[in-house]
Structure 1
Amino acid sequence: MPSILVINPNSSQKVSDNLEKILVPPPNTNLFFYTAPAEAPKEIDGTESLIESEQVVLPDLLAKGLHEAYDGYLVCCYSDHPLIHSLAKSTTKPVLGIMQATLLYSYSNARLNKLFVLTSTSGWNATLDEAITSFGGAGVFPAQKFQRTRALDVLVLSLADEDEFAKISRRVAEVFDEYKEDKIDAVLLGCAGMAGLDEKLLALYPEVVFVDSCKVGVEFLSALTRLC
Protein backbone atom coordinates (compact mmCIF):
# COMPACT_ATOMS: atom_id res chain seq x y z
CA MET A 1 0.00 0.00 0.00
CA PRO A 2 1.61 3.34 -1.04
CA SER A 3 2.67 5.67 1.76
CA ILE A 4 2.91 9.47 1.60
CA LEU A 5 4.81 11.66 4.03
CA VAL A 6 3.00 14.97 4.47
CA ILE A 7 5.75 17.44 5.39
CA ASN A 8 5.00 20.57 7.36
CA PRO A 9 8.29 22.48 6.88
CA ASN A 10 7.62 24.90 9.73
CA SER A 11 7.77 24.01 13.41
CA SER A 12 4.13 24.74 14.20
CA GLN A 13 2.44 21.61 15.51
CA LYS A 14 -0.89 23.45 15.19
CA VAL A 15 -0.55 23.48 11.39
CA SER A 16 0.33 19.78 11.34
CA ASP A 17 -2.59 18.88 13.61
CA ASN A 18 -4.98 20.71 11.27
CA LEU A 19 -3.56 18.88 8.25
CA GLU A 20 -3.96 15.55 9.98
CA LYS A 21 -7.56 16.40 10.84
CA ILE A 22 -8.49 17.61 7.35
CA LEU A 23 -6.66 15.29 4.95
CA VAL A 24 -8.30 12.02 3.92
CA PRO A 25 -6.03 9.40 2.36
CA PRO A 26 -6.92 8.25 -1.17
CA PRO A 27 -8.01 4.60 -1.46
CA ASN A 28 -5.26 2.12 -0.58
CA THR A 29 -2.90 4.91 0.51
CA ASN A 30 -1.47 5.65 3.94
CA LEU A 31 -0.68 9.19 5.09
CA PHE A 32 2.05 9.99 7.61
CA PHE A 33 2.82 13.43 9.01
CA TYR A 34 6.06 15.23 9.76
CA THR A 35 6.61 18.54 11.56
CA ALA A 36 9.88 20.42 11.23
CA PRO A 37 12.14 20.46 14.31
CA ALA A 38 11.85 23.29 16.81
CA GLU A 39 14.79 25.19 15.32
CA ALA A 40 12.88 25.65 12.05
CA PRO A 41 10.79 28.83 11.63
CA LYS A 42 7.45 28.76 13.41
CA GLU A 43 5.94 30.48 10.39
CA ILE A 44 7.31 30.77 6.85
CA ASP A 45 6.78 34.36 5.73
CA GLY A 46 9.24 34.95 2.90
CA THR A 47 12.51 34.08 1.21
CA GLU A 48 14.66 34.11 4.34
CA SER A 49 12.42 31.76 6.30
CA LEU A 50 12.06 29.49 3.25
CA ILE A 51 15.83 29.04 3.21
CA GLU A 52 16.00 28.57 6.99
CA SER A 53 13.26 25.96 6.79
CA GLU A 54 15.06 23.93 4.10
CA GLN A 55 18.35 24.12 5.97
CA VAL A 56 16.74 22.53 9.03
CA VAL A 57 14.32 20.05 7.45
CA LEU A 58 16.46 18.41 4.76
CA PRO A 59 19.29 17.34 7.11
CA ASP A 60 16.71 16.07 9.61
CA LEU A 61 14.93 13.96 6.97
CA LEU A 62 18.24 12.55 5.75
CA ALA A 63 19.60 11.85 9.24
CA LYS A 64 16.45 9.92 10.14
CA GLY A 65 16.42 8.02 6.83
CA LEU A 66 12.96 9.37 6.04
CA HIS A 67 13.94 10.34 2.49
CA GLU A 68 13.61 6.72 1.33
CA ALA A 69 11.10 5.45 3.89
CA TYR A 70 7.95 6.51 1.99
CA ASP A 71 6.60 6.24 -1.54
CA GLY A 72 6.02 9.98 -1.97
CA TYR A 73 6.64 13.31 -0.26
CA LEU A 74 4.29 16.31 -0.12
CA VAL A 75 5.91 19.62 0.90
CA CYS A 76 3.13 21.66 2.51
CA CYS A 77 4.27 25.22 1.98
CA TYR A 78 2.57 27.19 -0.76
CA SER A 79 5.63 28.42 -2.63
CA ASP A 80 8.50 27.19 -4.73
CA HIS A 81 10.03 25.90 -1.51
CA PRO A 82 13.72 24.95 -1.89
CA LEU A 83 13.02 21.70 -0.01
CA ILE A 84 11.05 20.44 -3.01
CA HIS A 85 14.16 20.54 -5.15
CA SER A 86 16.77 19.45 -2.60
CA LEU A 87 14.67 16.52 -1.39
CA ALA A 88 13.98 15.45 -4.98
CA LYS A 89 17.76 15.21 -5.47
CA SER A 90 18.08 13.09 -2.33
CA THR A 91 15.44 10.44 -3.00
CA THR A 92 14.28 8.20 -5.80
CA LYS A 93 10.63 8.78 -4.80
CA PRO A 94 8.33 11.53 -6.16
CA VAL A 95 8.32 14.89 -4.37
CA LEU A 96 5.56 17.46 -4.90
CA GLY A 97 4.85 20.93 -3.52
CA ILE A 98 1.29 22.00 -2.79
CA MET A 99 1.56 25.11 -4.98
CA GLN A 100 2.67 23.01 -7.93
CA ALA A 101 -0.23 20.61 -7.30
CA THR A 102 -2.79 23.43 -7.53
CA LEU A 103 -1.23 24.77 -10.72
CA LEU A 104 -1.36 21.28 -12.25
CA TYR A 105 -5.03 21.15 -11.26
CA SER A 106 -5.79 24.56 -12.74
CA TYR A 107 -4.30 23.66 -16.12
CA SER A 108 -5.68 20.12 -16.24
CA ASN A 109 -9.28 21.04 -15.42
CA ALA A 110 -10.64 22.36 -18.73
CA ARG A 111 -13.76 23.66 -16.98
CA LEU A 112 -11.79 26.38 -15.21
CA ASN A 113 -11.34 29.60 -17.15
CA LYS A 114 -10.19 32.33 -14.76
CA LEU A 115 -8.78 31.97 -11.28
CA PHE A 116 -6.42 33.48 -8.74
CA VAL A 117 -4.36 32.45 -5.74
CA LEU A 118 -5.62 33.56 -2.34
CA THR A 119 -2.74 33.59 0.12
CA SER A 120 -2.22 34.46 3.78
CA THR A 121 -0.40 37.80 3.83
CA SER A 122 0.33 40.35 1.11
CA GLY A 123 4.08 39.85 1.41
CA TRP A 124 3.58 36.68 -0.63
CA ASN A 125 1.73 38.27 -3.55
CA ALA A 126 4.66 39.10 -5.82
CA THR A 127 6.58 35.93 -4.90
CA LEU A 128 3.67 33.67 -5.81
CA ASP A 129 2.96 35.55 -9.05
CA GLU A 130 6.61 35.02 -9.98
CA ALA A 131 6.27 31.32 -9.20
CA ILE A 132 3.15 31.07 -11.38
CA THR A 133 5.07 32.75 -14.21
CA SER A 134 8.00 30.37 -13.78
CA PHE A 135 5.73 27.31 -13.72
CA GLY A 136 4.14 28.29 -17.02
CA GLY A 137 7.55 28.40 -18.67
CA ALA A 138 6.75 31.23 -21.10
CA GLY A 139 8.43 33.99 -19.08
CA VAL A 140 5.28 36.09 -18.75
CA PHE A 141 2.44 36.00 -16.26
CA PRO A 142 -0.41 33.88 -17.75
CA ALA A 143 -3.02 36.63 -17.55
CA GLN A 144 -5.45 34.74 -19.78
CA LYS A 145 -5.79 32.11 -17.04
CA PHE A 146 -4.92 33.91 -13.79
CA GLN A 147 -5.60 37.15 -12.03
CA ARG A 148 -2.94 38.44 -9.68
CA THR A 149 -2.52 36.85 -6.26
CA ARG A 150 -4.42 38.44 -3.39
CA ALA A 151 -4.02 38.02 0.38
CA LEU A 152 -6.33 37.63 3.35
CA ASP A 153 -3.80 39.40 5.58
CA VAL A 154 -4.39 36.88 8.33
CA LEU A 155 -1.43 35.24 10.07
CA VAL A 156 -0.80 31.65 8.99
CA LEU A 157 -1.21 30.30 12.51
CA SER A 158 -4.65 31.93 12.76
CA LEU A 159 -6.12 30.85 9.43
CA ALA A 160 -7.88 27.80 10.86
CA ASP A 161 -9.33 29.66 13.84
CA GLU A 162 -13.11 29.83 13.88
CA ASP A 163 -13.10 33.40 15.18
CA GLU A 164 -11.06 34.57 12.16
CA PHE A 165 -13.55 33.31 9.57
CA ALA A 166 -15.69 36.46 9.62
CA LYS A 167 -12.60 38.51 8.69
CA ILE A 168 -11.64 35.95 6.04
CA SER A 169 -15.09 35.97 4.46
CA ARG A 170 -15.17 39.79 4.33
CA ARG A 171 -11.78 39.87 2.64
CA VAL A 172 -12.84 37.25 0.08
CA ALA A 173 -15.89 39.35 -0.73
CA GLU A 174 -13.63 42.37 -1.33
CA VAL A 175 -11.41 40.42 -3.73
CA PHE A 176 -14.36 39.06 -5.67
CA ASP A 177 -15.66 42.60 -5.99
CA GLU A 178 -12.25 43.75 -7.26
CA TYR A 179 -12.26 40.97 -9.86
CA LYS A 180 -15.97 41.08 -10.70
CA GLU A 181 -15.29 41.66 -14.42
CA ASP A 182 -13.18 38.51 -14.65
CA LYS A 183 -15.92 35.97 -13.95
CA ILE A 184 -13.69 34.07 -11.53
CA ASP A 185 -14.65 30.41 -11.38
CA ALA A 186 -11.89 29.04 -9.14
CA VAL A 187 -9.68 30.13 -6.24
CA LEU A 188 -6.46 28.36 -5.28
CA LEU A 189 -6.06 28.46 -1.50
CA GLY A 190 -2.42 29.43 -1.26
CA CYS A 191 -1.33 28.34 2.20
CA ALA A 192 -1.18 25.04 4.10
CA GLY A 193 -2.77 26.87 7.03
CA MET A 194 -5.93 27.26 4.91
CA ALA A 195 -6.59 23.51 4.94
CA GLY A 196 -10.32 23.06 5.46
CA LEU A 197 -11.36 26.57 4.34
CA ASP A 198 -12.47 25.22 0.96
CA GLU A 199 -15.71 23.81 2.35
CA LYS A 200 -16.52 26.91 4.40
CA LEU A 201 -15.99 29.25 1.43
CA LEU A 202 -17.87 26.96 -0.95
CA ALA A 203 -20.90 27.29 1.30
CA LEU A 204 -20.77 31.08 0.72
CA TYR A 205 -19.92 30.91 -3.01
CA PRO A 206 -21.30 27.63 -4.40
CA GLU A 207 -20.59 28.70 -7.99
CA VAL A 208 -16.82 28.92 -7.35
CA VAL A 209 -14.35 26.04 -7.01
CA PHE A 210 -12.14 26.52 -3.94
CA VAL A 211 -9.06 24.35 -4.32
CA ASP A 212 -7.48 23.13 -1.08
CA SER A 213 -3.81 22.87 -1.96
CA CYS A 214 -3.04 20.08 0.49
CA LYS A 215 -6.00 17.92 -0.54
CA VAL A 216 -5.12 18.30 -4.22
CA GLY A 217 -1.47 17.65 -3.41
CA VAL A 218 -2.29 14.33 -1.75
CA GLU A 219 -4.38 13.24 -4.75
CA PHE A 220 -1.77 14.15 -7.38
CA LEU A 221 1.05 12.63 -5.36
CA SER A 222 -0.92 9.44 -4.84
CA ALA A 223 -1.13 9.13 -8.63
CA LEU A 224 2.59 9.83 -8.97
CA THR A 225 3.44 7.02 -6.55
CA ARG A 226 1.68 4.64 -8.92
CA LEU A 227 3.13 6.09 -12.13
CA CYS A 228 6.77 6.77 -11.16
Structure 2
Amino acid sequence: MAISLLIINPNCSEKVTDNLQKVLSFVSTNDAFLSFYTAPITAPKEITNEQTSLESEAVVLADFKKRQEFFSKFDGFMVCCYSNHPLIKSLTELTGKPVLGIMQATLIYALSNPKVSKSFILTSTREWEPLLDQSIIDFVGASDFPKTKFQKTKGLDVSVLNLADIEEYERIRERVKEILENEYSQENINCVLLGCAGMAGLDSKLSTDFPSITFVDCVKSATELLCSLVRFEKQNLIDY
Protein backbone atom coordinates (compact mmCIF):
# COMPACT_ATOMS: atom_id res chain seq x y z
CA MET A 1 0.00 0.00 0.00
CA ALA A 2 1.71 3.19 -1.19
CA ILE A 3 1.45 6.20 1.08
CA SER A 4 2.69 9.78 0.95
CA LEU A 5 4.13 11.58 3.97
CA LEU A 6 5.19 15.19 4.52
CA ILE A 7 8.20 15.58 6.79
CA ILE A 8 7.91 19.01 8.41
CA ASN A 9 10.82 21.05 9.71
CA PRO A 10 8.95 23.72 11.72
CA ASN A 11 11.93 26.09 11.80
CA CYS A 12 13.34 27.98 8.81
CA SER A 13 16.76 26.32 8.76
CA GLU A 14 17.39 24.57 5.43
CA LYS A 15 20.44 22.97 7.07
CA VAL A 16 18.19 20.95 9.37
CA THR A 17 15.94 19.89 6.48
CA ASP A 18 18.94 18.84 4.40
CA ASN A 19 20.10 16.57 7.22
CA LEU A 20 16.61 15.07 7.56
CA GLN A 21 16.59 14.22 3.86
CA LYS A 22 20.03 12.66 4.11
CA VAL A 23 19.11 10.50 7.09
CA LEU A 24 15.75 9.36 5.79
CA SER A 25 17.12 8.39 2.40
CA PHE A 26 18.45 5.28 4.15
CA VAL A 27 15.23 4.39 5.98
CA SER A 28 13.22 1.46 4.68
CA THR A 29 9.76 2.93 4.26
CA ASN A 30 8.08 0.16 2.27
CA ASP A 31 6.46 2.18 -0.52
CA ALA A 32 6.17 5.35 1.54
CA PHE A 33 6.97 8.44 -0.47
CA LEU A 34 8.52 11.25 1.55
CA SER A 35 8.37 14.96 0.79
CA PHE A 36 10.11 17.59 2.89
CA TYR A 37 8.91 20.99 4.06
CA THR A 38 10.83 23.83 5.67
CA ALA A 39 8.92 26.55 7.51
CA PRO A 40 8.89 30.00 5.85
CA ILE A 41 11.68 32.45 6.62
CA THR A 42 9.43 34.24 9.13
CA ALA A 43 9.56 31.19 11.42
CA PRO A 44 12.28 30.92 14.08
CA LYS A 45 15.62 29.65 12.81
CA GLU A 46 15.89 27.51 15.92
CA ILE A 47 13.17 26.38 18.35
CA THR A 48 14.51 26.79 21.86
CA ASN A 49 11.48 27.15 24.14
CA GLU A 50 7.69 27.37 24.35
CA GLN A 51 7.61 30.87 22.86
CA THR A 52 9.52 29.92 19.71
CA SER A 53 7.35 26.79 19.44
CA LEU A 54 4.23 28.95 19.36
CA GLU A 55 5.81 31.31 16.84
CA SER A 56 6.70 28.40 14.59
CA GLU A 57 3.19 26.94 14.86
CA ALA A 58 1.60 30.22 13.81
CA VAL A 59 3.83 30.61 10.75
CA VAL A 60 3.44 27.01 9.55
CA LEU A 61 -0.33 26.94 10.06
CA ALA A 62 -0.77 30.17 8.11
CA ASP A 63 1.31 28.73 5.29
CA PHE A 64 -0.61 25.45 5.25
CA LYS A 65 -3.91 27.27 4.95
CA LYS A 66 -2.60 28.74 1.70
CA ARG A 67 -1.63 25.26 0.47
CA GLN A 68 -4.90 23.38 0.43
CA GLU A 69 -3.36 20.81 -1.92
CA PHE A 70 -1.38 19.45 1.04
CA PHE A 71 -4.56 18.12 2.63
CA SER A 72 -5.32 15.74 -0.24
CA LYS A 73 -1.77 15.08 -1.43
CA PHE A 74 -0.38 13.70 1.84
CA ASP A 75 -1.66 10.84 3.96
CA GLY A 76 0.25 11.83 7.09
CA PHE A 77 2.46 14.53 8.56
CA MET A 78 5.51 14.40 10.82
CA VAL A 79 6.50 17.37 12.99
CA CYS A 80 10.29 17.35 13.40
CA CYS A 81 10.69 19.24 16.64
CA TYR A 82 11.49 17.14 19.68
CA SER A 83 8.88 18.50 22.06
CA ASN A 84 5.17 18.60 22.70
CA HIS A 85 5.00 21.01 19.77
CA PRO A 86 1.57 22.71 19.48
CA LEU A 87 1.62 22.12 15.72
CA ILE A 88 0.91 18.42 16.29
CA LYS A 89 -2.56 19.10 17.65
CA SER A 90 -3.44 22.08 15.45
CA LEU A 91 -2.32 20.33 12.26
CA THR A 92 -4.36 17.26 13.17
CA GLU A 93 -7.42 19.47 13.52
CA LEU A 94 -6.67 21.30 10.27
CA THR A 95 -5.95 18.29 8.05
CA GLY A 96 -7.93 15.47 9.63
CA LYS A 97 -4.96 13.21 8.91
CA PRO A 98 -2.51 11.39 11.22
CA VAL A 99 0.13 13.76 12.60
CA LEU A 100 3.05 12.50 14.69
CA GLY A 101 5.74 14.32 16.62
CA ILE A 102 9.23 12.88 16.80
CA MET A 103 9.32 13.00 20.60
CA GLN A 104 6.11 11.02 20.90
CA ALA A 105 7.51 8.29 18.64
CA THR A 106 10.57 7.75 20.84
CA LEU A 107 8.50 7.63 24.02
CA ILE A 108 6.24 5.00 22.47
CA TYR A 109 9.34 3.00 21.57
CA ALA A 110 10.78 3.23 25.08
CA LEU A 111 7.51 2.24 26.72
CA SER A 112 6.54 -0.56 24.36
CA ASN A 113 9.88 -2.34 23.83
CA PRO A 114 10.38 -4.97 26.55
CA LYS A 115 14.14 -4.87 25.94
CA VAL A 116 14.30 -1.31 27.28
CA SER A 117 14.85 -1.31 31.03
CA LYS A 118 15.26 2.44 31.45
CA SER A 119 15.99 5.38 29.19
CA PHE A 120 16.60 9.11 29.18
CA ILE A 121 16.32 11.89 26.61
CA LEU A 122 19.54 13.42 25.33
CA THR A 123 18.75 16.87 23.96
CA SER A 124 20.53 19.88 22.50
CA THR A 125 20.64 22.38 25.37
CA ARG A 126 19.91 22.47 29.10
CA GLU A 127 17.07 24.90 28.48
CA TRP A 128 15.05 21.97 27.17
CA GLU A 129 15.57 19.71 30.20
CA PRO A 130 12.59 20.77 32.36
CA LEU A 131 10.31 21.14 29.33
CA LEU A 132 11.01 17.62 28.09
CA ASP A 133 10.76 16.10 31.57
CA GLN A 134 7.31 17.66 31.88
CA SER A 135 6.43 16.37 28.41
CA ILE A 136 7.23 12.83 29.56
CA ILE A 137 4.91 13.27 32.56
CA ASP A 138 2.14 14.62 30.34
CA PHE A 139 2.56 11.90 27.71
CA VAL A 140 2.27 8.99 30.14
CA GLY A 141 -0.54 10.72 32.04
CA ALA A 142 1.24 10.62 35.38
CA SER A 143 1.25 13.10 38.24
CA ASP A 144 4.97 12.62 38.89
CA PHE A 145 8.01 11.80 36.78
CA PRO A 146 7.91 8.05 35.88
CA LYS A 147 11.28 7.07 37.37
CA THR A 148 10.79 3.35 36.85
CA LYS A 149 11.05 3.78 33.06
CA PHE A 150 12.88 7.09 32.56
CA GLN A 151 15.63 9.20 34.05
CA LYS A 152 15.73 12.98 33.76
CA THR A 153 16.65 14.65 30.47
CA LYS A 154 20.24 15.72 29.82
CA GLY A 155 21.32 18.59 27.54
CA LEU A 156 24.50 18.75 25.47
CA ASP A 157 24.70 22.56 25.28
CA VAL A 158 25.14 22.33 21.51
CA SER A 159 22.95 24.36 19.16
CA VAL A 160 20.46 22.34 17.12
CA LEU A 161 22.01 23.86 14.01
CA ASN A 162 25.42 22.33 14.85
CA LEU A 163 24.48 18.90 16.18
CA ALA A 164 25.13 17.14 12.87
CA ASP A 165 28.51 18.82 12.34
CA ILE A 166 31.43 16.38 12.30
CA GLU A 167 33.57 18.66 14.45
CA GLU A 168 30.97 18.59 17.26
CA TYR A 169 30.83 14.80 17.53
CA GLU A 170 33.78 14.38 19.89
CA ARG A 171 32.20 16.85 22.31
CA ILE A 172 28.90 14.96 22.12
CA ARG A 173 30.61 11.61 22.65
CA GLU A 174 32.46 12.83 25.73
CA ARG A 175 29.24 14.21 27.23
CA VAL A 176 27.42 10.93 26.65
CA LYS A 177 30.31 9.05 28.25
CA GLU A 178 30.16 11.31 31.31
CA ILE A 179 26.43 10.73 31.70
CA LEU A 180 26.53 6.96 31.25
CA GLU A 181 29.68 6.26 33.27
CA ASN A 182 29.21 8.77 36.07
CA GLU A 183 25.93 10.65 36.40
CA TYR A 184 23.67 7.69 35.54
CA SER A 185 26.03 4.79 36.16
CA GLN A 186 23.70 3.23 38.77
CA GLU A 187 20.44 3.80 36.90
CA ASN A 188 20.30 0.65 34.72
CA ILE A 189 20.12 2.78 31.57
CA ASN A 190 20.23 0.76 28.35
CA CYS A 191 18.49 3.15 25.96
CA VAL A 192 19.08 6.79 25.02
CA LEU A 193 16.42 8.76 23.15
CA LEU A 194 18.10 11.25 20.82
CA GLY A 195 15.95 14.25 21.58
CA CYS A 196 16.40 16.66 18.70
CA ALA A 197 15.80 16.57 14.95
CA GLY A 198 19.33 17.93 14.58
CA MET A 199 20.65 14.66 16.04
CA ALA A 200 19.25 12.63 13.17
CA GLY A 201 21.92 10.21 12.02
CA LEU A 202 23.97 10.23 15.23
CA ASP A 203 22.55 6.89 16.35
CA SER A 204 25.00 4.90 14.22
CA LYS A 205 28.08 6.72 15.50
CA LEU A 206 27.03 6.56 19.14
CA SER A 207 26.05 2.89 18.90
CA THR A 208 29.56 2.12 17.67
CA ASP A 209 31.15 3.95 20.60
CA PHE A 210 28.67 2.62 23.20
CA PRO A 211 27.64 -0.85 21.93
CA SER A 212 25.72 -1.84 25.07
CA ILE A 213 23.29 1.08 24.66
CA THR A 214 20.44 1.44 22.18
CA PHE A 215 20.35 4.94 20.69
CA VAL A 216 16.94 5.77 19.23
CA ASP A 217 16.91 8.16 16.29
CA CYS A 218 13.76 10.23 16.72
CA VAL A 219 13.34 10.93 12.99
CA LYS A 220 13.77 7.34 11.82
CA SER A 221 11.50 5.91 14.51
CA ALA A 222 8.81 8.52 13.88
CA THR A 223 8.84 7.82 10.14
CA GLU A 224 8.31 4.11 10.65
CA LEU A 225 5.58 4.65 13.25
CA LEU A 226 3.79 7.23 11.11
CA CYS A 227 3.79 4.77 8.20
CA SER A 228 2.01 2.27 10.46
CA LEU A 229 -0.52 4.83 11.68
CA VAL A 230 -1.38 5.90 8.14
CA ARG A 231 -1.75 2.33 6.89
CA PHE A 232 -3.89 1.47 9.90
CA GLU A 233 -6.26 4.33 9.06
CA LYS A 234 -6.33 3.45 5.38
CA GLN A 235 -7.55 -0.01 6.31
CA ASN A 236 -10.58 1.69 7.88
CA LEU A 237 -9.77 0.29 11.30
CA ILE A 238 -10.04 3.66 12.96
CA ASP A 239 -11.94 6.89 12.38
CA TYR A 240 -10.57 10.36 13.05
TM bracket, shorter-chain basis:
over 0.9
- Is residue 191 from structure 1 mapped to residue 206 from structure 2 by the alignment? no
1:78 paired residue among 76, 82, 85: 82
Asked if 1:9 is matched to 2:14, the reply is no
Give 1:178's match in structure 2, choosing from 163, 183, 193.
Answer: 183
Counterpart contact for 1:68–1:93, Cα < 8 Å: no
Query: Who is 2:137 aligned against?
Result: 133
Equivalent residue for 1:142? 146
Shift of residue 61 of structure 1?
Answer: 1.3
What aligned pairs does 1:17-36 form with structure 2 within 5 A after superposition? 17-23=18-24, 24-36=27-39
Partners of 1:25 and 1:62 in 2: how far apart?
31
Deviates more, 1:62-71 or 1:203-212: 62-71
Q: List gaps (5 residues or longer) in structure 1.
A: none
Q: Which amino acid is the alignment partner of residue 204 of structure 1?
A: D
Identity %: 52
- State whether structure 2 residue 93 is matched by structure 1 residue 96: no
Q: Which residue of structure 1 lines up, in the alignment, with residue 67 of structure 2?
A: 64
Q: Tell me the SS of whatever aligns to 2:78.
A: strand
Provide the C-alpha distance between the structure 1 equivalents of 2:72 and 2:59, rounded to a whole number of angstroms.
18
CA distance in 2, matches of 1:97, 1:210: 18
Asked if structure 2 preserves the Cα contact closer than 8 Å seen for 1:25 and 1:218, the reply is no
Give the distance between the partners of 1:19 and 1:61, measured in 2 at CA.
Answer: 20
Shift of 1:67: 3.4
- The TM-score, its normalising length taken from structure 2, stands at 0.93
Q: Which amino acid aligns with 1:123?
A: E
Amino acid at match of 2:7: V
Equivalence for 1:200:
205
Which stretch shows the higher mean deviation, 198-207 or 64-73?
64-73
Instruction: Measure how far apart 1:32 and its partner are.
Output: 0.6
The equivalent of 1:110 in structure 2 is: 114
Q: How many residues align?
A: 228
Letter in 2 for 1:7: I
Quick one: distance in 2 between partners of 1:152 and 1:209? 18
Matched with 1:168 is 172
Runs of 4+ in 1 over 3 A off after TM superposition: none
Give the secondary-structure state (helix, strand or coil) at the position aligned to 2:152: coil
Q: Normalising by structure 1, report the TM-score.
A: 0.98
Query: Comparing 21-30 with 129-138, which one deviates more in the overlay?
Result: 21-30
Q: Decide whether the 8 Å contact of 1:185 with 1:207 is kept in 2.
A: yes
Shift of 1:28: 1.0
- In 1, Cα distance between equivalents of 2:173 and 2:111: 26
Specify the code of the residue in structure 2 equivalent to 1:77.
C
Paired letter, 1:206: P
Partner Cα distance (2:174, 2:158) in 1: 12
Contact kept? 1:68, 1:92, Cα under 8 Å:
no
Deviation at 1:25, TM superposition (A): 4.7
Q: Equivalent residue for 1:47?
A: 50
Post-superposition shift, 1:68?
Answer: 3.5
The one-letter code of the counterpart of 1:17 is D
Q: Within 2, Cα distance between the matches of 1:192 and 1:68?
A: 26
Matched residues in 2 for 1:51 and 1:10: separation?
A: 11
1:122 equivalent in alignment to 2:126: yes
Cα deviation code 1:125-160 (max 9, x no counterpart): 000000000001122111000000001110100000
